[in-house]
Amino acid sequence: MILCLSLLPVASFGQSVLVHGSARDAETEEPLPFANVVFVRQGTGTTTNRLGYFFQRIQRSDTVHVRVSYVGYRTFDTLLIRSSGEMTIAANLRPASVTMEEVEVLGQSKFYDKGSYPSAIVFQSKELTALPSPGERDLLRSLQRYPGVSFQSEMSSNIYVRGGSPDQTLIQLDGITVYNPSHVFGFFSMFNVDAIKAAKIMKGGFPAEYGTRVGSVLDVLSAEGDRSRFGGKASFGLINGSVFLNGPLGRGSWMVSVRRSYMDILTNTLGIPLPLPDYFFHDLHGRVTQQLDDNNRLSATILNNLDDLDFVSEKNNDVIDEAVYSTWSNRLIGIEWGCSLSSSAFLRTIVSNSSYHGNLDATQNVLLVSFPGGSRLINYGNRLEDLSIKSELEWSPTTGHAAKLGAFFTKYNLAYSTNASFEGIKSEVLRDYSIGGVLLQDEVGLTDKVTVTPGLRITKYSKRDDPYFEPRIVAGIRLAPTLLAKIGSGVYQQWINGGQPAYFLTFSGIDFWFPVGQSIRPSKSTQISADLLWNVQPGVDFTVSAYNSKIENLVELRPNFEESQNLSGVFYSGRGRNFGLEAMLEVNRGVLRAMAGYTLSWANRWFDDIDDGREFPARHDKRHVLDVVLTYRASKTWEFSLAWTFSSGQAYTGILGYYELDQLTDSISASNTLHSVLSDKNAFRLPYYHRLDLGATKTFDYDSWKLRLRIDVYNAYSRRNALGATTGFSDDPYYRLLPIIPTITLEAEF
Amino acid sequence: MALRMSKYWIVISALTLLSCEVNNPILEGTNVVVEGFLISGSRFEKVRLRRVVTPGEATQGLRDLNAPVSNALVSISDGMSTYVLVEDTSEIPNVRPKRTNHGTYRLSAQDSMVITSDRTYELVAVIPNLVVRASTKTPTPITVTALSTIVNHPAENVRLSMTKDSTIGGYLIVTAIDYSQPINFDYGGYNYLYSSSSEVVIPWKHFLTLGVAKIYVYAFDRNYDEYVRNRKLGNPTQSLYELEDVIENGVGIFASAALDSITVSVQ
């Protein structure tokens, strides 16, 4: 199909001219990824790639009006005069200074932002910093405000995209896979927004250039650093502080960001008594970029994070009443080589290593000597490490074609520690295994209004004999100058699955990752996603999306998975269907930016081993979700923000009744044990959920520093939303989430 | 403009009301709880039938509620003979407030049944509109061997080895309550330990009193093993749990065990 489409003569274009170039920050010379590039007269456009480059063949013309726009920057307009078959642009965009007069500059529509991909949302770091957030600006928490992206509780930064579980979203930083991005038990993610340049989430129907997950993709790009001068930012909040530094280096730049919590230092070093467990986290995120010559650039990314919790409830003599020791960490390192082979071909190669390590050791009534079979309650440990290389060629061979050809190979290594020995499944799981394959896709401009991107991934998984074929197709149809339709569909496979033991569902820290083996087949989804985008007026966009996803061989961790002797005992295996409608209104009027999103969705599951195969809703299934986000820049120094969310209650398995088994025999003394009769899986619903967050930022200058004082109020009207159901013996039938929490953060930029 | 705005509010309000609607399920019908344990070599004692109580009833105090299932027609069969059980309605002595044995079914005075190894026992309870069934196969006899019989404070632990058999799901290791110096397997107040392994190490720190200690080992069947394992299941935000069904048309446990014991010296 791809070959056929590639051979299509795109006759309507006639002779063509190649326009290529890059978009950069005029002050820092930092590349601007995912910037809009619009050829005004032709009515077509593209976006810059992750390294800020673009190229496109357009209908031959003596003059070409090119408009490059990027959120937070003045729009770049230029008129190119053709002197040959190629035109080159160096679009240096100036940051928009914050003045009331710049309404129109900031009010550029995001209409072209989405490129040709359906259900994609692009974020620039400037947008992330404007949203209210308790204590810490966060990428994943910001994403949870958008239609189709949901969360399980405030205690988890895991994202549930269009009914998919967190492990079904491919999260990558500069092309490196991230397995668990949680900090502080999921209260926020490991992505420090200071060190993030942009992010793009593709909620469904994504093209062939992305793979290994059946749900969605979150593509995060690091900031590269200022190429002109040294600078930085320091931020101090209630629980953590961070420092971001960046500057020029040779023919390139560097960036480093460090964060650390300081509750443990306040408690242990300074002796300030805080009613908190002994806990800390830190992360280090850095990137170095060098322009080797005009056509070659080399960059390296490193990210290392760690969360460490030591909680001991009480120690009497040599007996601990309760104790929890837990750590989880990620380590990412990658080197990226970008090579401009010609003005119409760009090659990008990434070699990376990503590892995730999580460990939880929970004990109760424990002697301070080790013994087998004691009262250790939980001991889980999982280490996953990959070594990956992928190469991708972007190539525009002829007018109307923008092809991507790629090859990828990843080698995985896994290790576990649990109460149980896992002996039965070690032989099935604990071998090295690998995934490798090729991809090709071609964005074909059939007419000046219709673009079709067919694609195919062919993947070989080392534990299965046959290769897997994943055909994809994405189409964009410009119905009117301000009306655009997008459709994406395809087959998606997943060979590695993550999850959490049932006890952990209220927060996201420890994950368990398992490759599929002989007893569990790879997950496979068939998705279709359609968007209608309407640029109502400049700065006002309205988007409606519909989606449907069917998943086969869907897996979820069984509650007592650690006792299993084979992989089929680790997972429930079944099928799922996610479908729904999303609507989003975005207003960008410079000083006022607003977003209202509504999602109507279903996430249904069928597992043979649960309720005799009857349909049940996923725990994160929410029928209605409504979000409203407003940011208002009242003056040069004051900015206010508001975010309100409302959703149906989550599903849970409720208690229908109780009974007690209070003896074994008259000669055996055992404690009474209370049992419950549970409902069908997730047959109950928590009460509806709603929450209002408010934020205010005061900006002022101190010497050459720019200071920002941020005051955020989480849960402003202090609604005690339900986290889950209690056993029913207390006055309140629900465990409650946090009440109102004001936080204050000081940022200094130099 | 006002009309347009009001339309939006109508839509938003309708969605809000839809979301607020929570119709959670309730317990339907009679849910019978069976509780019965058979020990090889011992006489059959009793089977208890109760009903599941609703969360509303439970908040009033499950222990006092008791919820016996009375007037059921209950029988137990060992494959050769079938015995009809009789409900014990007597008062439980020395309990305040007063409670009775309603819901407890025993052999009639003229019957006697000794539980035999390697035999399948079937229980049938008939109540109006419901027949509850359960069965258990008694495990083969076991032998417990002490790989070390002397417990030395503070150095040597006790190691036990039990014979294995495919009918055995796991081993419940307990102290006899009539023994004058019971050992403590756990500081949490429990005096039993369950292990699926046929070799168990009991650390010296579990023996609090010097002298002679007697350890009983019950080799339980698969039903009991299911009971132990599956009580880890349940709602993740709740400490309660639901058992896998080993009872047809009911819940609870009907299990059997083989028994052996051993004596150790604590020095």
Asked if B17 is an interface residue toward chain A (Cβ–Cβ < 8 A), one would say: no
Q: Pick from A669, A687, A728: which is nearest to B22 by CB?
A: A687
* Choice between A550 and A541, residue whose per-residue pLDDT is larger: A550
Of the candidates A369, A506, A656, the beta carbon closest to that of B237 is on A506
Say if residues B37 and B223 touch (Cβ distance below 8 Å): no
- Chain B contacts of A661, Cβ < 8 Å? 33, 35, 252-253
| pLDDT at res. A526 | 97
Nearest CA-CA partner of A461 in A419, A501, A433? A433
Residue A624 has pLDDT above 90, yes or no: yes
| Residues A24/A253, Cβ–Cβ less than 8 Å | no
What residue has token string 């409830």? A313
Scanning B216-245 for CB atoms below 8 A from A yields: 216, 218, 229-243
* Contacts by A532-538, CB closer than 8 A, 24 or more apart: A532/A483, A532/A484, A532/A485, A533/A111, A533/A114, A533/A483, A533/A484, A533/A485, A533/A486, A534/A482, A534/A483, A534/A484, A535/A109, A535/A111, A535/A482, A535/A483, A535/A484, A536/A482, A538/A104, A538/A107, A538/A108, A538/A109
- Least confident interval from A276-285, A370-379, B128-137: A370-379
Lowest-confidence pick of A36-50, A89-103, A483-497: A89-103
The backbone region for A313, taken as left when phi is positive above 0, alpha when psi lies in -120 to 50, beta otherwise, is alpha
Measure CB to CB from residue A660 to each of B16, B62, B193 and give the nearest one: B62
Would you state the pLDDT for residue A425? 54
Taking CA–CA distances from B189, the nearest residue in chain A reads: A671
Question: Are A657 and B31 within 8 A, CB to CB?
Answer: yes
Of A657, A665, A675, the CB nearest to B54: A657
Q: Is the pLDDT of residue A315 over 60?
A: no
Residue among A368, A623, A652, A656 with most chain B CBs within 10 A, to mutate: A656
Chain B residues with CB inside 8 Å of A655's CB? 55, 235, 238, 240
Q: Which chain A residue's Cα is nearest to B44?
A: A665
Asked if A626 and B234 come within 8 Å (Cβ–Cβ), the reply is: no
Query: Which tens digit of pLDDT belongs to each residue from A519-534?
Result: 778 999 999 999 999 9
Q: Is B15 on the interface with A (CB under 8 A)?
A: yes
A549 within 8 A of A163, measured Cβ to Cβ? yes
Nearest by CB to B26, from A369, A505, A656: name it: A656
Check pLDDT > 90 for residue B172.
no
A318, pLDDT greater than 60: no
Residue B184, chain A, CB below 8 Å: the answer is no
Q: Do B235 and A674 touch (CB under 8 A)?
A: no
If one compares A568 and A426, the residue with the highest pLDDT of the two is A568
Question: In A, which residues are within 8 Å of B195 by CB distance?
Answer: 373
Contact criterion met (CB < 8 Å) for A687 and B232: no
Average pLDDT over every residue of B109-127: 93
Q: Which of A661, A683, A684 sits opposite B252 (nearest CB)?
A: A661
Please name the member of A560, A648, A677 whose beta carbon is closest to the beta carbon of B27.
Answer: A677
Pick from A412, A175, A185: nearest CA to A300? A175
Mean pLDDT of A307-326: 66
- Surface of B (118-137) touching A: CB under 8 A: none
Q: Any chain A CB within 8 A of the CB of B214?
A: no
> How many Cβ atoms are within 10 Å of A158's Cβ, its own excluded?
26
CA distance A675 to chain B (A): 5
Q: pLDDT tens-digit profile of A571-610?
A: 788 999 999 999 999 998 878 889 999 999 999 999 988 8
At residue A234, the pLDDT reads: 94
CA distance B20 to chain A (A): 6
* Predicted local confidence at residue A219, as pLDDT: 93
Contact A665 B45 (CB under 8 A): yes
Q: Which of A51-55, A125-129, B184-188, B243-247 has the highest mean pLDDT?
A: A51-55
- Structural domains of chain A, ranges and CATH numbers in brackets: 120-650+686-749 (2.40.170.20)
pLDDT band at A402 (very low <50, low <70, confident <90, very high): confident
Instruction: Identify from A370, A558, A647, A661 which residue to disrupt to test chain B contact, counting B C-beta atoms within 10 A and taking the largest count.
Output: A661
Taking the CA of residue B113 and the nearest CA in chain A, the distance in Å comes to: 16
> Which pLDDT value is given to residue B1?
46
Question: Percent helix, strand and coil across chain B, each rounded to 5?
Answer: 15, 40, 45
Residue A704: pLDDT over 80: yes
Question: Nearest Cα to A399, choosing from A17, A1, A3, A7?
Answer: A17
Q: Identify the weakest region by mean pLDDT among A10-19, A492-501, B102-111, B246-255.
A: A10-19
Residues of B in contact with A679 (CB under 8 A): 24-25
Looking at CA atoms only, how far is residue B209 from chain A in angstroms?
17
| Joined tokens for residue B249 | 């048309």
Of all residues in chain A, what percent carry a pLDDT higher than 90?
37
Same fold, B32-137 and B144-242+256-266: yes
Asked if the Cβ–Cβ distance from A371 to B203 is below 8 Å, we say yes
Where along chain B do its domains lie? 32-137, 144-242+256-266
pLDDT (0 to 100) of residue A719: 92
* Lookup result for tokens 């062939």: A208
Identify the architecture of domain B32-137 in CATH: Sandwich (2.60)
Please indicate whether residue B153 or residue A309 has the higher confidence score (pLDDT). Answer: A309
Separation in Å, CA of B80 to nearest CA in chain A: 24
Return the structure tokens found at A562: 């650690």
ipTM of the complex: 0.80
CATH architecture of B144-242+256-266: Sandwich (2.60)
Our CA-based measurement puts residue B267 at a distance from the nearest CA of chain A, in whole angstroms, of 20
Question: Residue A369's pLDDT is what?
Answer: 33
**pLDDT confidence tier of residue A102, bands split at 50, 70 and 90:** very low
The per-residue pLDDT for range A119-160, each reduced to its tens digit, is: 888 887 777 666 666 567 788 888 888 999 988 777 677 889
Q: What is the pLDDT of residues B70-100, one digit of tens each?
A: 999 999 999 899 999 999 999 888 877 788 8
Asked if residue A196 has pLDDT above 70, the reply is yes
Give, rounded to a whole angstrom, the gap between the first and last alpha carbons of chain A: 54
Residue by residue, DSSP assigns A442-496 as EEEESSSSEEEEEEEEEEEETTSSS-EEEEEEEEEEEEETTEEEEEEEEEEEESE
**Percent of chain A surpassing pLDDT 70:** 82
Over 80: is that where the pLDDT of A371 sits? no
Bridge partners, A307 (sequence order): A281, A328
Residues of chain A with C-beta less than 8 angstroms from the C-beta of B205: 367, 369
Q: Which of A113-127, A165-179, A242-256 has the lowest mean pLDDT?
A: A113-127
Residue A470 has pLDDT above 90, yes or no: yes
Model pLDDT, residue A98: 47
Structural element, H or E, at residue A414: strand A401-418
Flag if B24 and A506 touch (Cβ within 8 Å): no
Nearest to B188 among A365, A506, A654 (CB): A365
A353: exposed, middle or buried (Cβ count in 10 Å: 0-12, 13-18, 19+): middle
pLDDT recorded at residue A605: 95
Among A657, A675, A687, the residue with its CB nearest the CB of B55 is A657
Given this model, what pLDDT does residue B234 score?
Answer: 42
DSSP, residue by residue, A659-717: EEE--SBTTB----EEEEEE-STT-EEPPPEEEEEEEEEEEEEETTEEEEEEEEEESTT
Compute the average pLDDT of residues A546-565: 81
Q: Would you place residue B164 in the very low, low, confident or very high pLDDT band (cuts 50, 70, 90)?
A: confident
Question: What is the average per-residue pLDDT within A655-684?
Answer: 69
Q: Which residue has the higher pLDDT, A50 or B143?
A: B143
Tell me the nearest-neighbour CA distance from B143 into chain A, angstroms.
Answer: 19
Handedness of CA B60, B65, B66, B71 (dihedral sign): negative
* Closest Cβ opposite residue B186 in set A365, A648, A727: A365
Average pLDDT in chain A: 82
Q: How many CB pairs under 8 A join A and B?
A: 185
The predicted structure's pLDDT at residue B132: 95
pLDDT of residue B239: 46
